[in-house]
Amino acid sequence: MYKNAADILPRYLVEEIQKYVQGKEIYIPKQPHKRLGWGERNGTKQWLNMRNQEIKEKYRGGASVEALMESYHLSYESIRRIVRE
C-alpha cells in the first residue's frame, strides 16, 4: 500500500532519502529477523507438518508406501522422504 514518506518519516530522513530518490516509489524491505518463513503467513507450513505427521503415523501403523501414495497423491520419493524424517 502506498504511503507518503512525508506523512510517516521525520523531515530530516525524508530530506536524506531525497538525495538519492525523488518522486519515485521505493520498497523498504522488512528486517531479516522479522520476516516470516515460507508458508507461515497462510498456514501452509503448519498444514504440511500436520499432513506429514499423519503420513508417518499411518506408515508406522502398517500402511504401505503405495497406499499412502494413492491416499495423498504424492510420489514414491516424497512418501519415503516423509517417513524417513
pLDDT tens by residue, 33-81? 777 788 888 889 999 999 999 999 999 999 999 999 999 999 999 999 9
3 versus 78: the higher-pLDDT residue is: 78
- DSSP characters over 24-61: -----PPPGGGPPPTTTTTSHHHHHHHHHHHHHHHHHT
pLDDT tens by residue, 14-37? 999 999 999 888 888 877 777 778
The pLDDT of residue 16: 94
The pLDDT of residue 12: 95
What values do phi and psi take at 78, rounded to 5? -65, -45
The pLDDT of residue 52: 97
